[in-house]
Structure 1
């Protein structure tokens, strides 16, 4: 069942999203700050999509396929909250990747706010982390705008500056 926010629609990724996933994750521009670089083959996109769908089936949440309310059939990105193993344990991580055509319109900030609301209000998670390369100023700004705080660093790319770890905690009432 899709979730409709102010401008965006979030839904569970479907098998037919594999081409769009590959187009977005394989675009060199969307990987400027990804040390692994762009996805290089459709089979990698299929494996990633399968992992996301397996997580959805087992846990009932995960990365969403994201579209505009005005164009619900056209996926502009993928993102949300899902487990990621780092800092010696599994953590719930906020992540996203948008097609270049969707950049600069506030969609990452909107997604971030909606994903934190899902994590805290629906899933009742105690905290959410965000991992970002230190030179990715736009993503750092998004995490700051949605209220995440710098929490630490992770030396995850040999020979490069450590990634910055952000954290948000469930608000107390």
Structure 2
């Protein structure tokens, strides 16, 4: 069983996460091809995926928006996830991942546009950021397609790769406090 779409786009059903989504989501989160830029975050046990789903469900309850489970219209298969999470109560973080078979088709941009629209309706005064690794050129290109601008570049604290660099793209200039929240 999966949920009724909470929102949709031309090609995508955007559903609030349910615990029943764990197997389909685990197939994505455990795939090493999805974690090319941050392999240590790959799920190696379904319990990790279940904990992620629980965190996302709490986010929806607390913020009225969160990470969607993504399916294409006419299919029950999960092709990805993405949406918004509130960082430090000050910035919306736009994040997503798609199964390798769904990548390169503009789905992340389509999802990102809907997330930006929702953020503007929900709290128009709260900036939206994309927090990504510099080597992930595809995610950087999506951020730019969505109209986000690079506002910060620096070391990725906590990354097992000491040479990793994080980029912060945003829909507007950020205050010092908002940038600190973005980097949490």
- Is residue 166 of structure 1 aligned with residue 172 of structure 2? no
Deviation at 1:161, TM superposition (A): 3.5
- Alpha-carbon RMSD across the aligned residues, in angstroms, is 1.9
SS in 2 for 1:36: helix
Inter-partner Cα distance in structure 2 for 1:35 and 1:130: 19
Runs of 4 or more above 6 Å deviation: none
**Secondary structure of the corresponding residue to residue 94 of structure 1:** strand
Mapping 1:47-86, distance limit 5 Å: 47-71=51-75, 73-84=76-87
Q: CA deviation at 1:35?
A: 5.1
Matched, 1:104 2:107: no
Q: SS of the counterpart of 2:65?
A: coil
| Aligned equivalent of 2:31, options 10, 14, 27 | 27
Q: Which residue of 2 aligns with 1:117?
A: 117
Structure 2, gaps ≥5 residues long:
174-184
Higher strand residue share: 1
Alignment check: 8 A CA contact 1:28 1:37 kept: no
The number of equivalent residue pairs is 166
Does 1:12 find its partner at 2:22?
no
- TM-score, structure 1 normalization: 0.88
When normalised by structure 2's length, the TM-score is 0.83
Unpaired runs of at least 5, structure 1: none
